[in-house]
């Protein structure tokens, strides 16, 4: 088995710590690939690994259809991860799900400054938290799994040159603003991964970033 195959398998088996756990993960990997191989066969090795982990995490093969990855996303993200750039999340639930990353994983949604800005500006705390991160000089990967307002705020700050972002995983979930915010991200020049439509959420965001962390660029 090649190093790349080992790395791809690791994106799914991460978390298993016993013989039975690894056996279950391996069976899941085989099932996932059998379900979506015809949809991912033209993707790069890294892109396939990411999509496989998302499908594995959600038990929903449709994500192979609706996950879109910009051409520069993998390279930009892996470069940031190898440099241990900071990772910024929209909510703490996404932050908690990110594992085995030696760099900093940050979330400001409960920061007093975010609470104050949200009240003063009449915006969501998720959007206000992004402003706090920008004020702190954040530079790295942004992972948004829930709040469309956070994603739109990142886009605005990047376009205004008020925030440095290496790449964005933009997969907010919901029927209000989620699809629109992802379409807005897709139209930018920021390296990005999105999911079409209202589907998304914490499991997808966590699966995507953890897959990148586990991948080893050769």
Catalytic residues: 56
Task: Using alpha carbons, select from 74, 99, 94 the residue that is nearest to residue 16.
Answer: 99
Q: Read off the tokens for 182.
A: 């992802």
Q: Read off the tokens for 12.
A: 């799914």
Planar angle of CA 72, 77, 82, nearest 5 degrees: 135
Length of the chain as a residue count = 218
Q: How far apart are the C-alpha atoms of 18 and 4, rounded to whole Å?
A: 23
Sign of the C-alpha dihedral computed for residues 60, 61, 62 and 66 taken in this order? positive
Whether the CB-CB separation of 133 and 123 falls below 8 Å is answered with no
202 Cβ neighbours under 8 A, 6+ residues apart: 91, 93, 94, 97, 145, 146
Q: What b-and-e string marks burial along 113-131, b requiring 16 or more CB atoms within 10 Å of the CB?
A: ebbebbeeeebbbbbbbbb
Q: How far apart are the C-alpha atoms of 199 and 30, rounded to whole Å?
A: 24
Q: Read off the tokens for 172.
A: 């907010």
């Amino acid at each position: 088995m090649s190093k790349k195959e080992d790395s791809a398998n690791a994106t799914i088996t991460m978390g298993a710590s016993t013989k039975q756990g690894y056996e279950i993960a391996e069976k899941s990997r085989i099932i996932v690939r059998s379900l979506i191989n015809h949809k991912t066969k033209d993707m790069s090795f890294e892109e396939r690994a990411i999509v496989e982990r998302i499908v594995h995490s959600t038990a929903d093969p449709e994500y192979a259809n609706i996950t879109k990855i910009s051409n520069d996303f993998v390279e930009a993200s892996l470069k940031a991860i190898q440099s241990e750039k900071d990772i910024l999340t929209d909510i703490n639930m996404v932050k908690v799900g990110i594992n085995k990353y030696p760099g900093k994983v940050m979330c400001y949604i409960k920061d007093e400054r975010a609470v104050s800005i949200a009240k003063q500006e009449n915006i969501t705390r998720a959007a206000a938290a992004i402003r706090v991160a920008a004020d702190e000089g954040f530079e790295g990967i942004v992972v948004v799994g829930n709040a469309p307002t956070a994603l739109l705020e990142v886009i605005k700050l990047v376009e205004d040159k008020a925030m440095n972002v290496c790449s964005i995983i933009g997969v907010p979930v919901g029927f209000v603003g989620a699809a629109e915010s992802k379409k807005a991200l897709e139209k930018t020049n920021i390296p990005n991964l999105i999911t079409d439509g209202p589907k998304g959420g914490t499991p997808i965001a966590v699966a995507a970033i953890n897959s990148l962390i586990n991948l080893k660029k050769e």
